[in-house]
Structure 1
Amino acid sequence: MDRKSQKQTSRFPTRSPFLLLASFLLLITLTFSPLTFSPPSPSTKATSYPPCCRAGKLTPTSSPSLAHAYTEISEGPEVIAKITPESPGANTDVEIVLQSFSIDLDDAVIAWYEDGVKKIEGPARKTYTFRTGQAGKSMRVAVTITWGTIIAEKVFVVNPADVDLVWEASTYTPAIYKGKAPISPGSTVLITAIPSFVSEAGGKLPASDLVYTWERDFSTLHSQSGKGKRTLAIEMKGRSETTVKLSVREASGALSASNKIILRPTNPVLRFYEEHPLLGTKYERALGPNFVLRSEENTLRTEPYGMYSSGEPLMYKWLVDGRDAIEHQESRNLITVRKEKESKGRSTLSLTVSNPSKFLTVLGQLIVSFGE
């Protein structure tokens, strides 16, 4: 063999059989060796004190949410808390439900505290209900979860705030009517928010300093939301109900509240009343469906409850037994009915009130008996 062949052969020396066998045995040992897990180290925390007394040692898992009126602080294995309602108001019942994929809550001892006072303790106490105080009075709700040597803690700092919603429909009702004007299809409804936000110092926050987010049927009304925008005007579309939700927060997000209302439009209703020459309209008793004409003549008034005028006059059309009747000279919602001498019988008095621009019409009918 020449020198060149010797050099090439020297690069690949023959491996020892013993070395190959040792490598093979080492590979088998590493492949089939059992895996071991280290158990969690026991907690060194003292458990004789409620977590709310040691809240300074806890680490906040999140900052105050802009949608919630509470701050949540946690320590230990992950435990999920569902709070209902998400924005607790003043003097409101609140429920906390715990869930965890790290701890067997059904086998854990759970203790609940309110402002440092233990309220309840026992196995699998995953649900807790408490009641908030008045607006501006914060409270601390704490929970300790012990599962063997594992301890998890949570603290909820609840800052209750309130917002009321008041609505007003731009529909017609008589001046003497003490009820609320009903919502009719096509009418405009004005909603006003009345917030009750109290700072930590005890002062009431001005409504103009708060941020308002309006939603209609779960769609945010961006152009009508913002700082100080505490009123909302909406037009009812058809006869379908509308859900309006409002979220209010202080600029920093430390305080927040929410509320919602459901607006249900109804059809306008015509009511007939007798007009007395001295006493005026007898609103204490509506007529119908039958009216007995006991004198030679009577003036009747009609009131279209819930009719929406949209700034233009309503159209009144009176019929007597299907024939056009002459409207009252002073007011279109008045009509005078007379009986002929010695005549007896019945007549059907009908009225149609309409708003042409809104395609809204309401019908009314009264059977007038005379000579009986």
Structure 2
Amino acid sequence: MRFLLLLTLVLLGTPAGLIKAQFSGDVLGGQLSIVLDPQYPGPRDLVTATLDDYSLDAGGATIAWFIDQQFIPGSENKRSISFTAGDVGSKTKIEARLTSINGQTMVATQSIKPLYVDIIIEPQTYTPIFYAGRALPIYGSTVFLTALVGTATSLANNSEYTYNWKLNDKTLGGGSIRGGNKISLMVPHGRSNIVTLSVADFNGQTVARRLIEIPSVDIDVQFYEISTLYGIAHKTVGDSLNLIGNSTTIKAVPYNLDLRSVGGDLFTEWQIDGLKQKNTGSDPFEITVYGQGGGLTNITFKVRNLSELLQGDENSFQIQS
């Protein structure tokens, strides 16, 4: 009873402004904020806003959410809400109001202004011209990255922004670079690597952040038959090939081979039934095979970049003559 009487006297003798200050700090014991996921949404991204009041003594308080000063129906007493970000250049204000059992209110706000950011990935590895997919990186190969930042109508001037690139949390290029929307990297060990790009404005304020995955695959040798009439077939030989005629020419295609190894320290070898074949042509990736008068012939091709010993593959198929 003495404690309740003392507390009543203190509150009655305290100005209203000081009571509110105590509510936002001393009485509740902390601050109120909104956490966004993703932290820097892109245009039309699905965004989750979560109220962070764990440092507050806010037992019994009510919660209400507003977007652009409009109350969100059904958001009462929810710790998080989800919504769709606006288009490029639009601005959205998110507001959370926490009201204590005494009727005092704390307000937390966040603003979203989506910026268009895209990253072009260009692995410097090989695929044939007829391949409809894209080349993939392998360990030790080079990858070119280009960031495109834009508004609702056009791409922005790169000099208006500062770019900070990281590979697996390690900064690339020595640090943040104004206008540095292009960078290259060498693929490290590991099947998956994460590149993080942070874009900041003239004031040094981060306005966008994007994460992309850079996979690391292996060289994949596939075989294609070459016709003197139609050229190289677009369908792989597979595990076996029926020989029609006396001979056929086969091309080995090393998907994802490091482009720097072509014409460099590159080892190639053809084998027929386990015997090494001398390359008499101008293309080390082609071989002409002659029928053996019936039965199966085993064809093997090996390729390896001697400058990067982990860059290599071999594959085999059989010819029925």
Range of TM-score over shorter length: 0.7 to 0.9
Query: 1:275/1:348 Cα in 2 relative to 1: closer, same or farther (>3 Å)?
Result: same
Measured in 1, the distance between the counterparts of 2:294 and 2:75 equals 84
Report the residue type matching 2:274 in the other structure.
G
Q: Deviations over 1:36-88 (max 9, x none)?
A: 332387969xxxxxxxxxxxxxxxx9xxxxxxxxxxxxxxx731322222112
Measured in 2, the distance between the counterparts of 1:93 and 1:43 equals 41
Matched, 1:366 2:317: yes
Measured in 1, the distance between the counterparts of 2:173 and 2:286 equals 46
The answer for the alignment partner of 1:54 in structure 2 is none
Percent identity of equivalent pairs: 23
In structure 2, the gaps of 5 or more residues are 18-23, 25-29
Deviation (angstroms), 1:102: 3.6
Measured in 2, the distance between the counterparts of 1:239 and 1:322 equals 33
Deviation (angstroms), 1:142: 2.0
The answer for the alignment partner of 1:159 in structure 2 is 113
Matched, 1:178 2:148: no
The answer for the alignment partner of 1:323 in structure 2 is 275
Match of 1:210 among 138, 149, 161: 161
Query: 1:122/1:264 Cα in 2 relative to 1: closer, same or farther (>3 Å)?
Result: closer
Query: 1:145/1:243 Cα in 2 relative to 1: closer, same or farther (>3 Å)?
Result: same
Query: 1:338/1:97 Cα in 2 relative to 1: closer, same or farther (>3 Å)?
Result: same
The answer for the alignment partner of 2:174 in structure 1 is 223
In structure 1, the gaps of 5 or more residues are 1-32, 45-60, 62-76
RMSD: 2.7
Matched, 1:356 2:306: yes
Q: Deviations over 1:326-351 (max 9, x none)?
A: 325231111111125xx222121111
Measured in 1, the distance between the counterparts of 2:195 and 2:50 equals 28
> For 1:310, what is the secondary structure of its paired residue?
helix
The answer for the alignment partner of 2:27 in structure 1 is none
Query: 1:122/1:242 Cα in 2 relative to 1: closer, same or farther (>3 Å)?
Result: closer
Match of 1:347 among 297, 302, 310: 297
Query: 1:366/1:206 Cα in 2 relative to 1: closer, same or farther (>3 Å)?
Result: same
How many residues align? The count is 301
**TM-score, length-scaled by structure 2:** 0.84
Measured in 2, the distance between the counterparts of 1:226 and 1:326 equals 52
The answer for the alignment partner of 1:13 in structure 2 is none
Query: 1:123/1:163 Cα in 2 relative to 1: closer, same or farther (>3 Å)?
Result: closer
Structure 1 segments, 4+ long, off by >6 Å, are 40-44
Matched, 1:332 2:303: no
The answer for the alignment partner of 1:306 in structure 2 is 256
Q: Is the 8 A contact 1:108 1:123 kept in 2?
A: no
Q: How does 1:180-195 map to 2 (within 5 A)?
A: 180-195=134-149
Measured in 2, the distance between the counterparts of 1:189 and 1:92 equals 27
Measured in 1, the distance between the counterparts of 2:227 and 2:173 equals 53
Q: How does 1:83-94 map to 2 (within 5 A)?
A: 83-94=36-47
Matched, 1:134 2:87: yes
The answer for the alignment partner of 1:235 in structure 2 is 186
Q: Is the 8 A contact 1:95 1:130 kept in 2?
A: yes
Q: Deviations over 1:89-115 (max 9, x none)?
A: 21112222223344525x223222222
Q: Is the 8 A contact 1:213 1:225 kept in 2?
A: yes
Q: Deviations over 1:146-190 (max 9, x none)?
A: 212211122322211131122111111111112100111211111
Report the residue type matching 2:11 in the other structure.
P
Measured in 2, the distance between the counterparts of 1:280 and 1:204 equals 42
Measured in 1, the distance between the counterparts of 2:149 and 2:193 equals 22
Q: Deviations over 1:278-329 (max 9, x none)?
A: 111111x110211111211111111111111415423321111111223252
Query: 1:121/1:293 Cα in 2 relative to 1: closer, same or farther (>3 Å)?
Result: closer
Which stretch of structure 1 is more off in the superposition, 182-191 or 236-245?
236-245
Measured in 1, the distance between the counterparts of 2:206 and 2:113 equals 6
The answer for the alignment partner of 1:264 in structure 2 is 215
Q: How does 1:53-72 map to 2 (within 5 A)?
A: none
Match of 2:197 among 238, 246, 249: 246
Q: How does 1:103-122 map to 2 (within 5 A)?
A: 103-104=57-58, 107-120=60-73
Deviation (angstroms), 1:269: 0.9
Report the residue type matching 2:278 in the other structure.
I
